Structure 1
Amino acid sequence: MLLPALVSFANANAFSETGYEIYAHQQKTITGTVTDDGGAPMPGVSVIVQGTTIGTVTDIDGNYSLEVPADASMLVYSFVGMRRQTVNIGNRTSISITLETETIGLEEVIAVGYASQKKANIVGSVTSVSGDKIDAIPAPDVSNAISGRMPGSVVIQESGEPGQNEATILVRGRTTLGDRGDNPAITAPLVVVDGVPGRSLGDIDPIDIESISVLKDASAAIYGSTAANGVILVTTKTGQSGKPQLSYQFYQGFMQPTILPKVTNAGDYATMLSEFQDYEQKPRTFSDRDIELFYSGRDPWEHPNSDWVGDLVANWTTTSKHNINFNGGSNGMVYYISFGYKNEEAIYKQESTNYKQYNIRAKLDLPITDWLKTSVDYAGYLNNKYYPTKGAGDIYGQSTRLVPTQWSFWPSGEPGPDIEYGDNPVVTSTLEGGYDDQKSYINQFTFSGTIAPPMVKGLTLNGSFSYDVDNWTRKRFRKPWTLYFPKWDTAVRDSEGFITSMELTPTLRGYSAPEMAEDFSKDTKMLANFNFNYARDFGLHSINVFGAYEQVDHK
């Protein structure tokens, strides 16, 4: 028995040595030098094989030597304050590179008022976030997506109801001027979209946003008293010169309630009520036998155990977004076209509430000459909010008032009786009592032109005209709904005396008669703006002069 063991041991040693030789042949050494854009050697630069933990750092002279697997294809060079570079290895064993200074900090251009400035030149309180960061967040709308990304700003989402989830934004946090009370608009910042004040932040498709800037102090003063609580500047995307590019994005979300109240069952409720009544020396509503039957569930007809919140609220609901856009251009002309669709469902088990949005955005930049450029921008939205006749606050609030010893549904499936005013939330959350259909049709047009006179270097003359129309319609149809009341004298009982079936009396509750109401409103705003900007650099010095005239006609 020893011989096979010795043979096996000898073979293992031979395999180990052979494997080591194969491994050694699969390695190769890469050497090189890393310098900055001024030609100086860079010590401490990280050199890593892409997708692995194999790496090294350059020495004091910027040199490095790294053993890499034979199948390694890319090296990644990185250093704080320098632009990361990824280099193809190929068949080379010597790779020297030059790292460029990262300029996305102070050289970044940020929208400020009616113009833009480099970040290094801004002295006011301005924060910004790119559209890519906003698009990466699966939030209901843009106002929720900027939460936590604007230092000093407070974002409060007060409702999760479909179509009502636009957040309240306090640009200056708790020091924001005014008392919100029941009107958040008092403390709301001024929203400026592509230079047009007063447009809605919640309507914009996050995919169409290039950047968002928030102005807090004197940098917002150019907009006057309407900017007392700050300004949110939104810049939407434009086309990129080159071959046409098509992009499609789809998002499907599944949402659950974060926190729901833990409700008591019928047995516990009857026990607590009986203990209180005993303490107060009042007649008991439920006997010990009743409490026993509430716990056992043996007699659901006369001793129900209703979970009103559980019968109203589903475990999860869905939301979805679609966007398709394409852009391109040549010879200075660029275009960007985007189509979007959003659907949000409520979290009621008896589904009724729904919010849909269809949006389109088209932008065309067309140069006429070297010194004259024009732009046409259109945005359109169709927002459709569909609700039951009762508001979400009333429906959910009623579910927290009702007791588990009352019937949400009868054992045979019909909705149970109400306590007052016909309010049974498992019915009022449906369309049994009618519907509230709200639609808004929003059209926004902007025409602009820029003149850069060749005889005056640094001077630009800008003009724009915007025309916004918002048509809002609301159709409310209300009708009585049916609840079912017991006919105890028709009850069929088993040998133990428990009800097995019973006739129920359908009764109209809620509104006394069907009624229809329609509302309509139209809001029109025209804005004309003319401004000039003179900006020149003289060595280490720069000068910037800006002036503007703006007129708004609001109907």
Structure 2
Amino acid sequence: MVLQAAKTNKYIQTKTKMKKHSYAIILAVSFMLIFGLNSFNTNAQYYKLKGRVTDTLKRPLENIMVCVKNNEKDFKMTRINGKFSLKVQKDDTLLMLSPDEEIFQIKLNGREEVVFILKSSGKSIEMDENTYQVLDGIESERLKKYLTSLKPKEPEKFYHNIYDMIQQQNPDLEVNESSGNVYIRGQSNFLENNPALIVMDGVKRSSLGYIDPKDVKSIKVIRDGTVGIYGGRAVGGVIEITTKTGRK
């Protein structure tokens, strides 16, 4: 009887251990499944956004900075073909820093592809069937400063003179060094036959030959309706130059 009771007790203990072990396995597997599903759902929220930045003539723009708002450190620079790709979530807001440091933003809303079309003035943009917003105010200034600090420094280029600089930075310009005139291509024949008005630091100029390219901060080409503010001399468009020391 004693031997039989001992065997029975040992059997019960063994079954209990097996049950506990089974419960432990079930709990472990359940935890792994739940954790795995949560991880899968989290990862599934991200997808690859494809984009491209061009000018109005559909030419790709290289080295344009693009990033997700509130995650600016993971920025991308457009490649030589103007394309970029980013890991995003459907509710993210995309930021783009234009060459003249204007910031444009667009709510993705699950969009898988975006196309930015920058106009020559650099301060305006077109997006096919997309809604964008130009940032301004305190938020814009903060982001400009931060994004500019993150942006890789480009190697300094050498220019023979100001006209060489203008033409290298803006291939759609035609320069006549002997006369000092600059013409904007891609417009009507009437406009192409009229030289562009040169405006430096807000002052109209007849010649640029004396300007050192190292003193130039930015060059903008204006060819849309806004040239009207400069009067009749701007029928051929406007070349707006800002120097590092000058003010508009």
Name the TM-score, length of structure 2 as normaliser. 0.39
Greater relative CO (CA pairs within 8 A, separation 6+): 2
Q: Which has the higher helix share?
A: 2
Structure with greater strand percent: 1
Query: When the two structures are superposed, what TM-score results if normalisation uses the length of structure 1?
Result: 0.19
**Greater Rg, structure 1 or structure 2?**
1
